[in-house]
Structures are given as C-alpha cells and as structure tokens.
Amino acid sequence: MFNYLYKKLKFLQLNSEKVKDEEPKKETVQFKIFSSLEENLDFLKEALGSSNDIIYRQFFFGSKMQINAAVIFLEGMTEKAVINETIIKPFMYDSRLHNLESEIELGNIKCIKDCMLSVGNVKLVTSVNEIIDGCLSGDTILLLDGCSEALVINSKGWETRGVEEPKTEAVVRGPREGFSETLATNMTLIRRKIKNSNLTFETMEIGTQTRTSVSIVYLKGVVNPKLLREIKKRLSRINTDAILESGYIEQFIEDEPYSIFPTIGNSEKPDTAAAKILEGRVAILVDGTPFVLTVPMLFIEGFQSAEDYYSRTFFASILRILRFTCFFISILAPATYVMLATFHQELIPTTLLFSMAAGREGVPFPAVMEAGLMIITFEILREAGVRLPRPVGQAVSIVGALVIGEAAVSAGLVGSMLVIVVALTAVSSFVIPVYTDVSAILRMIFLILAGALGIFGVGIGLLALLVHIVSLRSFGTPYLAPLAPLSLEDLKDTLVRTHLWSMFTRPRTIGWHNFKRQEPGAKPEPPVEEENND
C-alpha cells in the first residue's frame, strides 16, 4: 500500500516537472551597445557598480588623436602584460594604424580585430550583457566611440595553484598529478590523457549570482546518447544563486537524495577521470574545485583504486578483497561484539568468553551503550583531527585516542576488548575513503539493531541494506551492476581484477553500442624458439 502511494506521488511529481520544463523560459533582456562611448561607460559604471577593482582606461589615438576609445578590465583577474603589450601599445605605436584610420573613424571595429590585435581569442559582441559577462570572467573589453559594437579580448590571468599530487588519493605507483581549481587546467589534464578528436567538452554557466562555468566531458561514439541528454537536462534544470563547488552540482542532479550511498563519483586524479570517460561515463568539471564528478557511479567503484590497474593482477585482487573485508568490519564489528556479548555468549569460545568477562568486570553500562560511547568518542576525535591544523590535528587524534582509551579502561567505563574492536573498526573505515561517511552511519544502525534483537536484528539490517542497494539507480544504471543484474563478462573487474589483456569489453551496463575495448589475442607469450636446421 505504502509502496503504491510512493510510486503514485513520484509519478505526479515527474509529470509536474515535465510541465515546468515545457513552459517557455523567460529570456534575459539584451541591451544593445550605444554608438556613443560616454553613454556606454555611464551604463557600464551603473551596471557594474563602483567597485575599485574595475578599471576604466580611456585613451585617444590616431595621427591627430581624434579617435576616442576605452578598455575595461578587472584588476587581479587579467594579465596586465597582455593588456599593455597587445592591446594598448598597438594603438599608440603600430605603424599599421595609419592605413586603418579612415576605417576606424567610420566605426569599423572589425578591422582592429583582424589587423591590429595579436591575441589568440577575440570576440565581436553587440550587447552590453556580453560585455558584462566577459569583463566579470577576466576578459578585457575594447569600446570605440561612434561604434555600436565591442571587442571581448581574452586576457584571463590570476593566481592559481599548480598541478600537485592530490591529498585524498595518494598512490604508491602511478601519476602524481591532480586537478586544480582552474577549469582550463583541468580540461588540459584530461586532454593530455585522451588525445582523441572525439573527446568533447561542452561548457555552460550555472548560478544566477556566481555564473560558475561547468563543463561536461564525454567521448563521442562511446557515451550513451540517452545518458548525455539526461545529464544536460538535469544541469539545465538547476536554478540557484550560487555554485561554489562540485558538491552543489552533485546534490542537485543525484538520483536518490535520501539515500546514504553516493550515486555520483568524484575524483582528484586525471587518470581516474580519463579511465571512466573511456568506459562511457561522463565527467562534470566545475570551475573553482579540483574534484571532478563522474556519472553514472556503481557500488563497486568505491572499492576500486587507480593503482589496481598499475599493479600486477594477483596483488591488486588481494587488495580489493581486503577492501571488501574492511568495509564489512567497519560496519559490523561493534554490532557483532554487542550481539555476542549480550545475546549469544554460546557462540564465543570458552577461553575468549572468560577474557571478555574479565575485561568487562565492573563496567556499569550495558554492552550497546558502552560501544555507542566509544564510537561517538572516536567520531569526535576524527572530526577534531580533520578540522584542526595538520600538526595539531595529528597530535589530537593520536594522543587523544591513547589517553582516552587507556583512561576509560582504567576507570572501568569500557572493557579492554571493546577498545580493540573500536580501534580495528576505525582503521578499517579509512581503507575505503569513498564510503567512510556511509560506514559511520551504518555502524550506528547495526549497533542499535544488534543491541535490540541480536543476530536477528543484524540479519534484518543486512537484508534491508541489500534490498536498498539493489533498488538504487545512477542515471538509470543499476547501482549494484554487474552483480545485479548479473553480467559474467564484467565480473572480471569486480571482486577481483583479472589481467588487462583479458578485458575485451567495456562495462555493458555503462557502455552503449561500442562495447569493444581491445581485440582478443593480446596475452603475452614467450618467443618461439626457431629450430636449427644443421
């Protein structure tokens, strides 16, 4: 009954959103450029305000200094050398100006664009809105008296962080470069990995106040056109005042906003983003953040690492199995301790049971409350270690854990066995950074179920978790693929990773019609010895 009502409400919501999408959107009024330079400057000063970082440089040029012009730019967002050497200086000293004076006096600004400016990207515009957008983006505007057109000259240049090793995805073997906060740099890093003419970047602006540049990246012929259309539809539907980080985009376009599992991937590594694009996914780059989004995302991606594909098969497979083991330890270890200590002591070996009983002697709290207090204490220490400056944070995390754990055992507030369990849980949760937040929530849920119902509560929780994961979708792709639905060919890169030369196809749940990744017969073999015919 409830499931029927939920589906009905969701159907009505989708219909209402479809009607909204079909409604004509109000277009922004485009103001034409005046032919008078003074009128243009007055209008721009009123539109841009009296901010001190907006520079209006008005000057005269020509053989008789009869031509009036102005350049407008934002200080701190432009390269002053470009403005001085390639924009203003040609008007002052370039000999070609004498041949163009008559054209310029007639208001032909196009001849300046074609014959005088030695800048790679120059755009001719006819509306004040385009002037304002270009100026706020770091371009330089050239206005000419008597001309109702303007030039938007590319002169962007501001202080940026260089390409550095990402802090969140450190590897032993593999590229050390990571994305930065500049969109152009991030696009270049992906282009360096995929030198293919089918690699396409489509850029749009989102945010009514911030006008943040967002670029979607995909490989033509590999990406599913339906996936591409759905991404563009969801991005165009965003109507908010600010986009300051890719996390804003993620929350606006994800499939299941009420799920604790992420359905949109993110990465700081260009090689990881490039590998996913080559599989048929779409990357979303946001100006101002080094975290690049990738869609669709599968559950298995949280246990994969870029280093898995640079290492040999056997070691990479062992590490992947270890990650799965650590995930289950991080969500079930405290619940298992409470379950055994409270309801099912008969399942514990006798020697271990005596040790646990001796450790909990004198503890005034039940096992579930004891474990809950220790988990909350660990989360407090973890959050403090992240937020404090790095040297202080490490000291707080290490010293705090040692002092509080030892003091709690000595005071008889918790058992010594539980301290070991919580420490193992904490370390295991950091092995899978993608699901660190997920494991923290599931840990508390399973702890409560184990304290209330024992092994039956844990079993019910695991069943509900499995049903929830199977029901999730990421842009129409089953979240638990290739396990559900089962794809035998794609199992080569799930629980274990087989040899690279045996992965002939791309993931079938993600790729479109172009499944082939490589031709068979790439298995390495020793050279055949030639027989000596003596």
- The tens place of each residue's pLDDT in the chain, 534 residues long, gives 444 444 545 555 555 555 444 444 445 567 888 888 888 888 888 888 778 888 898 888 877 777 888 899 988 888 888 888 888 887 777 656 666 777 676 667 878 877 777 777 888 888 888 888 888 888 899 998 888 889 999 888 777 777 888 888 888 888 889 999 889 899 999 999 999 999 999 999 999 898 899 999 999 989 999 999 999 999 999 999 999 999 999 999 999 899 999 999 999 999 999 999 999 999 999 999 999 999 999 999 999 988 889 988 999 999 999 999 999 999 999 999 999 988 888 888 888 888 878 877 777 888 888 888 888 888 888 887 777 776 666 666 666 666 777 777 777 778 788 888 888 998 899 899 899 999 999 999 999 999 999 999 999 999 999 999 999 999 989 999 888 888 888 888 888 888 888 888 888 888 667 778 887 877 888 887 665 554
What's the count of helices (H) and strands (E) in the chain, helices before strands? 18, 12
| 326 and 388 co-located in one domain | yes
| 435 and 467 co-located in one domain | yes
Domain annotation covers residue 462: yes
Angle at the Cα of 286 (from 281 to 287), degrees rounded to 5?
145
Residue 270: domain span: 183-297
| 263 and 346 co-located in one domain | no
Domain boundary among 137, 153, 169: 153
Domain annotation covers residue 8: no
Q: Residue holding tokens 């650590």? A: 326
| 102 and 195 co-located in one domain | no
Specify the pTM.
0.83
| 373 and 336 co-located in one domain | yes
Domain annotation covers residue 496: no
Domain annotation covers residue 137: yes
Q: Residue holding tokens 């005596």? A: 354
Burial class (CB in 10 A: 0-12, 13-18, 19+), 364: exposed
Please provide the size of the chain in residues.
Answer: 534
Domain annotation covers residue 208: yes
Domain annotation covers residue 268: yes
| 443 and 337 co-located in one domain | yes
| 442 and 323 co-located in one domain | yes
Domain boundary among 430, 456, 474: 474
| 421 and 327 co-located in one domain | yes
Domain annotation covers residue 194: yes
* Residues 502/309, Cβ–Cβ less than 8 Å: no
3-state helix, strand, coil in the chain (%, to 5): 50, 15, 40
| 343 and 421 co-located in one domain | yes
* Residues 90/75, Cβ–Cβ less than 8 Å: no
Domain annotation covers residue 302: no
Domain count, the chain: 3
| 293 and 321 co-located in one domain | no
Q: Which two tokens stand for residue 38?
A: 């003074």
| 285 and 377 co-located in one domain | no
| 344 and 464 co-located in one domain | yes
Distance, in Å, from the CA atom of 405 to the CA atom of 420, rounded to the nearest integer, reads 10
* Residues 313/523, Cβ–Cβ less than 8 Å: no
Q: Which two tokens stand for residue 345?
A: 């002591």
